[in-house]
Structure 1
Amino acid sequence: MDSLSIENAMNGLVNGRIRIPAFQRGFVWDADRVAFLMDSLYKGYPYGSLLFWRTKKPLRTEGKIGPYELPAKDPQYPIDYVLDGQQRLTSIFGVFQTTLPPMEVEGWLPIYFDLSAPEDAQESQFLALKDEEVDSNRHFPLNVLFDAPAYRAQTRNLEESTALRLDEMQKKFLQVSLPVQTFETEEPSQVAIVFERVNRLGTPLDALQLLAAWSWSEEFDLREQFELLSSELRPFGFDSVSEDPNLLLRCCAAVIAHDASPAALMSLRGATVRSRFQEIRNGIEGAIDFVKGNFHAASLKSIPFSTILVPLSVFFAVEGSKSVKCTGHQRKMLERWFWRTCFARRYSSGVLRNLKIDIEEMGVLRASENDSRLGEFACSVTPEFFLDNSLNVGTVNTKTFILLLARENPLSFVGGQPVALDEVLRDYNRSEYHHIYPREFLKDSPEINENALANFAFISAIDNKIIGGAPPSVYKARMDDGRFEEICDRAILPENTWNDNAEDFLKERAGLLVGKAQEVI
């Protein structure tokens, strides 16, 4: 095993001989952990070795080191890419280097030697401090240890005993030897596999980091591909898919392995992910287009289960520039499955088991539409769904209810113009849903659940102000008389809405909503 001094490590990073490969995750240590590493270095405690990949072949993209943007340098071959120990190396660089300012200062604090702390085998003698916390008589900055003029300036006026103690401390850091193992190969695909295996033994990576390492090549970075896909979906309101990497990874595994389990995900071969990624993209884009076009789902947040996109991506996954054309029967099957999945809360439990069944049936439906049993699971809707569940825009039941209302293409409650569903559901703004029987009207009826789903409709904030807290029989006159019947029909309102009897109204409307639900499931 080779070794590397702190000074040589810093010089290697600045002059470009040591670099961070693009598939490495970012710096994740907090300042206190950095200070703890300094204490281990000072006391000679084991802290693990660095693992370098030495190659004459430069990578297309490379990462920065923590908050520092390294200067562009003409490469000097061979280059040592850091496979393991990035967090430690970044910490050491950030503590001792003085030439580069951090590009991001949040969370990054300078480290100080605490002169008042007793020599203790257990307790750390190093602290991460904000500027206002520093006591110059007690705290000595580590960033001057490798800068001789700065170190002399800091110690020139100190008492001899303190200066000697600091000299001894500096000497220990100057003599630190960082253990280094070097792995040499010109095959980047092997490097990604080594990186993944090493990190399984250390700090766990999330699934995206693992598969990104597994599938990485000079021409392909999975995280970059997901970010590109997200940017392309932005005009359609679905750019937030990049915030749910596990969803995207499940789509990858579902399309390639027809199984979205973690085991299937980690069994994927990197070359296969790269070669079939366009097929995966087509599947995800086709799934989003389907839910957007058929259910008014204008954003990821408006879908009751984002997991619904996983089986759908299997149905729409095709190679190249091709696209899947649904037959009428296939579309009806997919729509029925969507609604049954939502009303039955299919992905609230037994997710992997149910996903595997639905993924397999999606494949059958695409290959032979008459043989598929997609959606053949228990699902029933009762009036209690709309009476016992209260409106909460973050829940599955509320999202399902809102999409059911949107299916009727509702009109403005007062003006009669079409509701801008795409805009309302993209932002998923609660201010666009209001009580049919106003809370002010129900304040003396505590036995009535004023927030029951059955008491809500698409009523904008502006329309709600016009309605005010008046009883339905009164605010009825403020609605567009010419389109009144159509407004009521599209809002799924019973005739007794205007009788000012909340109990009878809720019971009657819940019955109508059940009828609409039965149509779709």
Structure 2
Amino acid sequence: MAKTTFDTNPVLLQTLLKSCEDGKLQLPDFQRSWVWEEERIMSLIASVSRGFPMGALMSLKSKIDTGVVFAYRPIEGAPVGPNIKPEQLLLDGQQRMTSLYQSCMRRQVVATITAKKRLVKRWFYIDITKALANEADREFAIFAMPEDRVLKTNFDKDIVLDLSSPALEYEHLMFPLNQVFSTDEWMQGFWKYWNAKGEDKIGLFFRFQNDVLKNFTEYQVPVIALGADTSHEAVCLVFEKVNTGGKALDAFELLTAMYAAQGHKLRDDWS
């Protein structure tokens, strides 16, 4: 009877992102760098906020202490020390996981690119009112703000939206996405702000929490985990076949992957 060489399990998105932060889930070193555009990040956020599927991930269970292993590195932006060894390597899903880690969990501005490939720094927000008004138009409720959190027009002469302080976030009913897995502090500030103004907005926030934020905290991602005994040749072949989010690996990158299976970072030599 044929032996299955992989497991398939749903894993909470929050658990996966925490694993990225802790270094339990890292990348094989032959993976390309993270390059997603801000529009794609916002589209992904909108999908998760509605509980829509974002596709399966594929990982390789690590066998760090015995046998031949791939060289590895952390998800971009994760505070992982060089001595932290991963439990799994992410073969397919880097762009999605890095985008969600940086926008939803990491408390620093996200360095990304525009559709015209211009480097920019962005904070991501959900407009509470728009998110609750029309679920079908959820993408219009997702906002990317500049590094100073002030959106301007007319050659920076006119301010369109200012979210440079928590009070302004409360005033404009704009929820910072990097608070999505730890809402208590922001919610308390929100309640105190509107209570001081004599307006009851806490019911609105609870509705937002139940209809939108819960989709993040309860979101489950299917993960296909290859066994630790999978040969490095098979891993390279699988990676080439399943990594459909970008262009296929070229000869140099496949060679890099093969060397990485022996712990040698050919990409560093090339650089």
Contact 2:111/2:122, CA 8 A, preserved across alignment: no
Equivalent position SS for 1:109: strand
1:176 aligns with 2:176: no
**Partner Cα separation in structure 2 for residue 34 and residue 82 of structure 1:** 19
8 A contact 2:103–2:110 mirrored in 1:
no
Name the amino acid aligned to 1:198: V
Determine the structure 2 residue equivalent to 1:18.
25
After TM superposition, give the deviation of residue 174 of structure 1 in Å. 0.8
How many Å separate the matches in 2 of 1:60 and 1:15? 19
How far does the alpha carbon of each residue in 1:46-74 deviate from its partner, in whole angstroms, 9 at most, with x for none? Answer: 21111010122265642232244423454
Deviations 1:392-436 (A, max 9, x none): xxxxxxxxxxxxxxxxxxxxxxxxxxxxxxxxxxxxxxxxxxxxx
Residue 83 of structure 1 and its aligned partner are, at CA, apart by: 0.2
CA distance in 2, matches of 1:7, 1:18: 13
Checking the alignment, whether the CA contact within 8 Å between 1:14 and 1:71 is kept in structure 2 is: no
Q: Normalising by the residue count of structure 1, what TM-score does the alignment of the two structures yield?
A: 0.39
Report the alpha carbon displacement of residue 119 of structure 1 after superposing the two structures with TM: 1.5
2:228 corresponding residue in structure 1: 185
Structure number with the bigger relative contact order (C-alpha 8 A, sep ≥ 6) is: 2
Bigger fraction of residues in strand: 2
**Which 4+ residue blocks in structure 1 deviate beyond 4 angstroms?**
101-106
Alpha carbons 1:53, 1:182 under 8 Å: kept:
yes
Provide the secondary structure at the position in 2 that maps to 1:143: helix
Q: 1:142 to 1:26 in 2, by over 3 A?
A: same
Contact 1:189 1:216 in 2 (8 A): no
CA distance in 2, matches of 1:202, 1:132: 32
Give the Cα–Cα distance (whole angstroms) in 2 for the partners of residues 171 and 120 of structure 1.
Answer: 14
- Structure 1 residue 132 and structure 2 residue 150: aligned? yes
**Structure 1 position 87 matched with structure 2 position 90:** no
- Which structure 2 residues correspond to residues 234-313 of structure 1 after superposition, within 5 A? none
Query: 1: distance between equivalents of 2:97 and 2:91?
Result: 11
**Would you say the 8 A contact 1:52–1:80 is kept in 2?**
yes
Q: CA deviation at 1:98?
A: 4.0
Matches within 5 A, 1:31-430: 31-57=38-64, 59=69, 61-72=71-82, 74-75=84-85, 79-98=87-106, 101=108, 107-117=120-130, 118-122=133-137, 124=139, 125-130=141-146, 131-133=149-151, 134-135=162-163, 136=169, 137-157=172-192, 158=194, 159-168=201-210, 169-186=212-229, 187-199=231-243, 201-205=244-248, 207=250, 208-213=252-257, 216-227=260-271
Q: 1:111, 1:129 within 8 Å by CA — same for their partners in 2? A: yes
Relative to structure 2, which stretch is displaced further, 6-15 or 22-31?
Answer: 6-15
CA apart distance, 1:172 = 1.6
Query: What SS does structure 2 have at the residue aligned with 1:34?
Result: helix
Q: Which residue is 1:250 aligned to? A: none
Question: Root-mean-square deviation (CA), in Å?
Answer: 2.7
- 2: distance between equivalents of 1:146 and 1:42? 13
Taking the aligned partners of 2:103 and 2:189, their CA distance within structure 1 comes to: 16
Partner of 1:333: none
Q: In the alignment, residue 182 of structure 1 is paired with which amino acid?
A: A
Larger radius of gyration: 1
Task: Sort the Cα spacing of 1:219 and 1:163 in 2 relative to 1 into closer, same or farther, 3 A.
Answer: closer
What is the total number of aligned residue pairs between the two structures? 223
Shift of 1:225: 3.4
Change in CA separation of 1:193 and 1:92 when aligned onto 2, cut-off 3 Å:
same
Give structure 2 stretches of 5+ with no counterpart.
1-7, 113-118, 152-161, 164-168, 195-200
Aligned amino acid, residue 71 of structure 1: G
Aligned counterparts of 1:87 and 1:164: Cα–Cα separation in 2: 31
Change (3 A) 1:5 1:98: same
Q: Secondary structure at the match of 1:113?
A: strand
Q: Any gaps of 5 or more consecutive residues in structure 1?
A: 228-521
Question: How far off is 1:5 after superposition?
Answer: 1.3
Q: Which has the higher helix share?
A: 1
Output the CA distance in 2 between the equivalents of 1:2 and 1:70: 25
Query: How far off is 1:104 after superposition?
Result: 5.8
Local SS of the residue matching 1:194: helix
1:102: how far off? Answer: 6.4
TM-score of the pair, normalised by structure 2: 0.71
Secondary structure of the equivalent of 1:44? coil
Q: Deviations over 1:281-323 (max 9, x none)?
A: xxxxxxxxxxxxxxxxxxxxxxxxxxxxxxxxxxxxxxxxxxx
1:338-363 CA-to-partner distances (Å, cap 9, x unmatched) read: xxxxxxxxxxxxxxxxxxxxxxxxxx
- Aligned-pair distance for 1:180? 0.7
| Aligned residue type for 1:142 | L
1:444-483 aligned at under 5 Å gives the runs none
**Percent same amino acid among aligned pairs?**
22
Task: Flag the 1:215–1:62 CA change in 2: closer, same or farther, 3 A.
Answer: closer
